[in-house]
């Protein structure tokens, strides 16, 4: 049974695999305010958890925010601007 070739790469993207997987490279995050809000919500929720005394959940939430910020910094968002 033949397999489908899979999704075609977007215009201007690399066809070779990246050394680091970009989990948050999604068109939903093209607008900068959505990226900032995602990180801000994680940081604010981490502060809330810290104030409630839940240090483990605070560290976990801060780690999610840091991971999101790191992933957002890896993406070339100008690719989406070129697509229109």
> DSSP letter string over 16-65?
SPPSS--TT--GGG-SHHHHHHHHHHHHHHHHHHHHTT-HHHHHHHHHHH
Reported confidence tier of residue 46, pLDDT bands at 50, 70, 90: very high
Would you say residue 30 has pLDDT above 70? Answer: yes
Phi, psi for residue 46 in degrees, rounded to 5: -65, -40
Greatest mean pLDDT among 15-24, 40-49, 72-81: 40-49
Output the pLDDT for position 65: 96
Q: Report pTM.
A: 0.70
Count of beta carbons in the 10 Å neighbourhood of residue 6: 6
């Amino acid at each position: 049974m033949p397999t489908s070739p899979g999704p075609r790469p977007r215009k201007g993207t690399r066809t070779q695999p990246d050394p680091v997987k970009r989990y948050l490279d999604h068109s939903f995050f093209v607008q900068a305010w959505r990226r900032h809000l995602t990180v801000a919500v994680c940081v604010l929720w981490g502060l809330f958890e810290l104030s409630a005394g839940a240090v483990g959940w605070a560290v976990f939430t801060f780690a999610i925010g840091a991971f999101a910020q790191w992933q957002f910094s890896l993406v070339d968002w100008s690719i989406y601007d070129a697509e229109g």
